[in-house]
């Protein structure tokens, strides 16, 4: 009844189920070693009568001189307290351990699996009742109970198996229940119900296939628990007296003077035999669980293996020389040729491929793109906040005269939030659930103004919250008590805490209702113009940026496809992607107009077209687009578009001509 198994019970169901878990298992060193150790133990158990030099069950007359003989040619591991060969007993002991382990685990699995599935799938009173029973068994110290039952019921192998099995089911039941519960809540089960499928069908086709592999992993771990339990009972003198088991060997040796006789050979080998089998099963179980439920994620504090990288484009001397005095009209933020890659098993994937843009003080720009276009990655890369596995390969992010890519950690921290803050999407997860909202806002203030006292910071946090429309007293509440809209407001208050020069709003209204969306956008726009902050709106919604932004950058497949002032972009989109994206948006001023959509699917990072990323879906595509990546062409009014169609000197052809060139 231990929780080692509990560790790996997934809180939520795995999203990626490997196609061939057993191959994945053997690829892991842990799994391969575990399987190897167990196979050896299994072979020994089967072959014991053939390879053991003596039969431990045979009645042999011994004299006092046969007892505790040191290892020798005749007795590889010496003799025990009865003058018997330790090595032979060791080989035979494997049989008892494995037999008890497997049978008891099977009993535990059947009971626990059944209880777990019923409790998880039925829910309601039956489920709750079953879980209460499980909870009860959890507080019963199981070894004590095993001792009591075996002492009263008798020390036979069958009793021991039944007792260990019947008491070991609770762990299985808990894990299986939580897995069943999480599978039951998944949408494909709801869909099966909507189809009209009965419980039997749903259990057989949808629940069991998801739960069984996990049960296998648990069973392996329960085997190790059962083997430990058996040896412990035997060591305490409660084993089956007619059988030779490792625990019993240790019991006899320990209680009959092996320690004082210095007969380590009677103690150490059976002990490590137990370790061998249990370690083998544990390794196998752990590897099995990991193979079934891979944890791909790496956490945010892992070492950035690329480190803070000196900017390669600069000359060796250039980085030491002070930056040239900045002209008065220099942009506040200037991103140049930013390239970001992510590690993957098949090599680095390029998520952002040469993004450049400028931003002036107080300006509002929109960064628009569909999923996978690289818009969020661009923003995170600017502050070197990429998730582990991601790195900036090249490029510059000049912010107020300094390249953020080359700053040391301390200077970088000083820029973060106090000068450039981010309103993250999904404020539920972006706020720490166990700290109050006010406390989290105050923390940002105190980080950048260490002189501000605790009390003063809290007061300022309350003022900020009030400013975004959250009553002052709610500052003391935890994020889970807030509604979705309020959390997003709190996130905005947090972003404003240090009066930054730039606020990045990363999909600030996704998953919010339209009315709340409108409230949040209004609030954000009002505050940024009031405080003179520059704002970057990252969004997939062209409607949002059209009304709120001065300038719009359209991203596709990791590049900036088009950049223009908002009204020019909408009036005369230049890039075919922009044109088609605009046509995909509903426009209530023309409610009857059907949406156009774009044929095909957005490119995948692991399958980027060699030429223009939009080429496979572009109606105007021609041969050059497929092999050569179009650069960003500067057009009039500070516009840019990365398309050969706008190349100076390119003959403007109608769509049909473009199609013809294609053929």
Partner 1 sequence: MPDTMPVLRVEGLEKRFPGHRSLLDVLQRRAARDVRAVDGLSFEVMPGEVLALVGESGCGKTTTGNLLLGLMPSSAGRVTVDGHEVGSLSHRELLRLRRTVQMIFQDPYESLNPRMQVAEIVAEPLRVHGEAGTPQETKERVLNALVQAGMTPPEAYLHRLPFELSGGQRQRVAIAAALALRPRLLVADEPVSMLDVSIRAEILNLLRALADEHGIAVLMITHDLSTVAAYADRIAVMYLGRIVEIGDARTVLGNPQHPYTRALRSVVPVPDPSARRRPVILSGETPDPSRIPSGCRFHPRCPVAFARCPTVDPPLYDLGSGHLAACLLVEDAAQAEAVAPAAPAVPAATERTAEAPPAG
Partner 2 sequence: MQGRGRYLASKVGWALVTLFVVITFNFFLFRILPGDPARTLIRDPRVNPAAREALTRRFGLDKPVLLNFQGGNPFDSQYFAYLGALSRGDLGQSFAKRDQTVADLIGRALGNTLLLILPAQVLSIIIGIVLGLVAAWRRGTSIDGAALIFSLFMWSLPTFFLGILLLFAGAQWFELPTAGRVTIGASYGSLWDEVYDIGRHLLLPTVTFTLVLLGEYMLIMRSSVIDVLSEDYILTAKAKGLTTFHIIRDHAVKNAMLPMVTLIALNLGFTVSGAIQVESVFSYPGLGYLTVNAVGTRDFPVLQGAFLLLAICVVIANLAAELVYGWIDPRVTEA
Is residue 38 within the footprint of partner 2 (CB under 8 A)?
A: no
Closest of 277, 365, 415 to residue 554, by C-alpha:
365
| Identity of the residue, 231 or 334, whose beta carbon is nearer to partner 2 in the bound complex | 231
Contacts of 98 (CB under 8 A, 6+ apart): 41, 42, 45, 227, 277
| Identity of the residue, 345 or 648, whose beta carbon is nearer to partner 2 in the bound complex | 345
Contacts of 207 (CB under 8 A, 6+ apart): 117, 121, 180, 183, 184, 189
Which pair of tokens denotes residue 637?
């009014």
Is residue 333 within the footprint of partner 2 (CB under 8 A)?
A: no
Q: How far apart are CA 365 and CA 573, in angstroms?
A: 17
Of 84-92, 184-192, 282-290, 639-647, the window that binds partner 2 (rule: CB under 8 A) is 282-290
Decide: 146 and 162 in contact? Cβ < 8 Å: no
Report the nearest approach of partner 1 to the CB of residue 340 (Å): 21
Q: Helix, strand, coil: what percent of the chain each, to 5? A: 55, 10, 35
The crossing angle, in degrees rounded to 10, of helices 169-184 and 124-139 is 150
390-399, strands of its sheet edge to edge: 349-359, 333-342, 390-399, 402-403
153: partner contacted, choices partner 1, partner 2, none (Cβ within 5-8 A by kind): partner 2
Site for partner 2 in 224-253 (CB under 8 A): 224, 228, 231-232, 235-238, 250
Per CB under 8 A, the list member of 72, 319, 432, 483 interacting with partner 2 is 432
593: partner contacted, choices partner 2, partner 1, none (Cβ within 5-8 A by kind): partner 1
Could you say which DSSP state residue 587 is in?
A: -
What is the rounded (10 degree) CA torsion for 630, 636, 639, 641? -20
| Residues forming the site for partner 1 (CB under 8 A) | 15-17, 186-188, 190-198, 201, 205-206, 209-210, 370-371, 483, 485, 513-519, 522, 540-544, 546-547, 566-567, 570-571, 580-582, 584-589, 591-599, 601-602
Residue length of the chain: 663
State the residue for tokens 């520059």: 534
β-pairing verdict for 633-634 and 640-641: antiparallel
Q: Is 452 helix (H, G, I), strand (E, B) or coil?
A: coil
416: partner contacted, choices partner 1, partner 2, none (Cβ within 5-8 A by kind): partner 2
Is residue 282 within the footprint of partner 2 (CB under 8 A)?
A: yes
Q: Is 179 helix (H, G, I), strand (E, B) or coil?
A: helix
Per CB under 8 A, the list member of 102, 264, 570, 633 interacting with partner 2 is 264
Report the nearest approach of partner 2 to the CB of residue 424 (Å): 6
| Identity of the residue, 143 or 311, whose beta carbon is nearer to partner 2 in the bound complex | 143
| Identity of the residue, 62 or 151, whose beta carbon is nearer to partner 2 in the bound complex | 151
| Identity of the residue, 413 or 604, whose beta carbon is nearer to partner 1 in the bound complex | 604
| Identity of the residue, 228 or 560, whose beta carbon is nearer to partner 1 in the bound complex | 560
Report the nearest approach of partner 2 to the CB of residue 374 (Å): 18
147: partner contacted, choices partner 1, partner 2, none (Cβ within 5-8 A by kind): partner 2
620: partner contacted, choices partner 2, partner 1, none (Cβ within 5-8 A by kind): none
DSSP string, 525-559: HHHHHHHT-EEEEEES-HHHHHHH-SEEEEEETTE
Per CB under 8 A, the list member of 96, 431, 505, 615 interacting with partner 2 is 431
Site for partner 2 in 344-383 (CB under 8 A): 383
Of 324-332, 362-370, 416-424, 458-466, the window that binds partner 2 (rule: CB under 8 A) is 416-424
| Identity of the residue, 295 or 303, whose beta carbon is nearer to partner 1 in the bound complex | 295
For residue 658, what are the β-bridge partners?
A: none
Residues in contact with partner 2, shown as a per-residue x/- string from 466 to 505 under the rule CB under 8 A: ------------x-xx------------x-----------
Per CB under 8 A, the list member of 141, 307, 347, 648 interacting with partner 2 is 141
Q: How far apart are CA 221 and CA 105, in angstroms?
A: 9
Report the nearest approach of partner 2 to the CB of residue 47 (Å): 24
Closest of 227, 199, 16 to residue 104, by C-alpha:
227
State how far the alpha carbon of 12 is from the alpha carbons of 173, 184, 428, in Å. 17, 11, 17
Q: Is 641 helix (H, G, I), strand (E, B) or coil?
A: strand
Is residue 1 within the footprint of partner 2 (CB under 8 A)?
A: yes
Report the nearest approach of partner 2 to the CB of residue 125 (Å): 16
Q: How far apart are CA 589 and CA 594, in angstroms?
A: 12
| Identity of the residue, 1 or 569, whose beta carbon is nearer to partner 1 in the bound complex | 569
Rg over CA atoms, the chain: 34
Per CB under 8 A, the list member of 173, 430, 503, 566 interacting with partner 2 is 430
3-state secondary structure string, 126-157? HHHHHHHHHHHHHHCCHHHHHHHHHHHHCCCH
Which pair of tokens denotes residue 541?
């919604």
| Identity of the residue, 14 or 546, whose beta carbon is nearer to partner 2 in the bound complex | 14
Of 200-208, 357-365, 410-418, 623-631, the window that binds partner 2 (rule: CB under 8 A) is 410-418
205: partner contacted, choices partner 1, partner 2, none (Cβ within 5-8 A by kind): partner 1
Q: How far apart are CA 130 and CA 212, in angstroms?
A: 20
3-state secondary structure string, 351-389? EEEEEEEEECCCCEEEEECCCCCCHHHHHHHHCCCCCCC
Could you say which DSSP state residue 204 is in?
A: I
Report the nearest approach of partner 2 to the CB of residue 14 (Å): 14
82: partner contacted, choices partner 1, partner 2, none (Cβ within 5-8 A by kind): none
Report the nearest approach of partner 1 to the CB of residue 188 (Å): 4
- The footprint of partner 2 on this chain (CB under 8 A) covers a number of residues equal to 83
Report the nearest approach of partner 2 to the CB of residue 267 (Å): 6
Is residue 293 within the footprint of partner 2 (CB under 8 A)?
A: no
Write phi, then psi, for 484 (nearest 5 degrees): -55, -45
Is residue 389 within the footprint of partner 2 (CB under 8 A)?
A: no
206: partner contacted, choices partner 1, partner 2, none (Cβ within 5-8 A by kind): partner 1
Report the nearest approach of partner 2 to the CB of residue 70 (Å): 16
Of 53-61, 120-128, 397-405, 427-435, the window that binds partner 2 (rule: CB under 8 A) is 427-435
193: partner contacted, choices partner 2, partner 1, none (Cβ within 5-8 A by kind): partner 1
Q: Count how many Cα atoms sit within 13 Å of the Cα of residue 8 in the half-sphere of its side chain.
A: 21
Report the nearest approach of partner 2 to the CB of residue 50 (Å): 28
Is residue 135 within the footprint of partner 2 (CB under 8 A)?
A: yes
Decide: 107 and 169 in contact? Cβ < 8 Å: yes
Q: How far apart are CA 276 and CA 281, in angstroms?
A: 9
Cα 283 versus chain centre, distance:
22
């Amino acid at each position: 009844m231990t929780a080692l198994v509990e560790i790996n019970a997934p809180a939520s169901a795995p999203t990626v189920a490997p196609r061939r878990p057993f191959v994945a298992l053997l690829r892991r060193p842990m799994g391969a070693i575990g399987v190897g150790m167990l196979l050896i133990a299994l072979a020994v158990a089967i072959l014991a009568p053939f390879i053991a030099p003596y039969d431990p069950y045979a009645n042999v007359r011994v004299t006092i001189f046969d007892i505790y003989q040191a290892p020798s040619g005749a007795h590889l591991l010496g003799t025990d307290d009865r003058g018997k060969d330790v090595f032979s007993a060791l080989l035979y002991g494997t049989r008892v351990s494995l037999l008890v382990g497997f049978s008891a685990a099977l009993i535990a699995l059947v009971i626990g699996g059944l209880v777990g599935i019923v409790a998880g799938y039925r829910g309601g009173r039956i489920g709750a009742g079953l879980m209460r029973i499980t909870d009860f068994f959890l507080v019963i110290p199981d070894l004590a109970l095993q001792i009591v039952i075996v002492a009263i019921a008798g020390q036979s192998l069958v009793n021991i198996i039944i007792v260990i099995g019947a008491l070991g089911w609770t762990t299985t039941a808990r894990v299986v229940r939580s897995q069943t519960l999480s599978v039951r809540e998944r949408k494909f089960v709801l869909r099966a119900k909507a189809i009209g499928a009965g419980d039997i069908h749903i259990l057989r086709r949808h629940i069991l296939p998801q739960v069984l592999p996990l049960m296998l992993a648990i069973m392996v771990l329960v085997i190790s628990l059962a083997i430990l339990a058996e040896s412990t009972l035997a060591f305490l003198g409660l084993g089956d007296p007619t059988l030779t088991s490792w625990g019993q060997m240790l019991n006899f040796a320990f209680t009959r003077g092996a320690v004082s006789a210095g007969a380590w050979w009677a103690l150490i080998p059976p002990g490590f035999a137990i370790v061998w089998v249990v370690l083998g099963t544990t390794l196998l179980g752990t590897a099995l669980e990991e193979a079934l439920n891979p944890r791909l994620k790496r956490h945010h504090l892992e070492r950035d293996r690329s480190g803070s990288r000196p900017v390669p484009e600069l000359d060796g001397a250039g980085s030491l020389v002070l930056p040239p005095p900045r002209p008065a009209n220099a942009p506040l933020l200037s991103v140049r040729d930013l390239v970001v890659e992510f590690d993957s098993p098949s090599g680095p994937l390029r998520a952002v491929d040469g993004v450049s843009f400028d931003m002036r003080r107080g300006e509002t720009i929109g960064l628009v793109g569909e999923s996978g276009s690289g818009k969020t990655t661009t923003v995170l890369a600017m502050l070197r906040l990429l998730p582990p596995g991601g790195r900036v390969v090249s490029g510059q992010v000049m912010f107020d005269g300094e390249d953020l890519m080359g700053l040391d950690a301390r200077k970088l921290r000083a820029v973060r939030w106090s000068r450039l803050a981010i309103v993250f999407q999904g404020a539920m997860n972006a706020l720490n659930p166990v700290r109050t909202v006010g406390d989290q806002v105050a923390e940002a203030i105190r980080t950048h103004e260490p002189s501000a006292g605790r009390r003063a910071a809290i007061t300022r946090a309350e003022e900020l919250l009030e400013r975004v429309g959250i009553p002052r007293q709610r500052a003391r509440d935890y994020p889970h008590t807030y509604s979705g809209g309020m959390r997003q407001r709190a996130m905005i208050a947090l972003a404003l805490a240090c009066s930054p020069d730039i606020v990045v709003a990363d999909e600030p209204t996704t998953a919010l209702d339209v009315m709340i969306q409108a409230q949040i956008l209004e609030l954000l726009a009002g505050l940024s113009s009031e405080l003179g902050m520059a704002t970057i709106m990252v969004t997939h919604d062209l409607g949002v940026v059209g009304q709120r932004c001065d300038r719009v950058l359209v991203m596709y497949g990791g590049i900036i496809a088009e950049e223009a002032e908002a009204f020019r972009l909408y009036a005369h989109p230049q890039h075919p992607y922009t044109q088609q994206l605009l046509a995909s948006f509903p426009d209530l001023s023309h409610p009857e107009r059907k949406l156009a959509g774009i044929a095909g699917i957005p490119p995948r990072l692991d399958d980027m077209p060699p030429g223009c990323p939009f080429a496979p879906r572009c109606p105007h595509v021609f041969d050059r687009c497929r092999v050569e990546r179009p650069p960003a062409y500067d057009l009039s009014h500070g516009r840019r578009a990365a398309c050969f169609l706008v190349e100076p000197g390119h003959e403007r052809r109608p769509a049909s001509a473009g199609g013809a060139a294609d053929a």
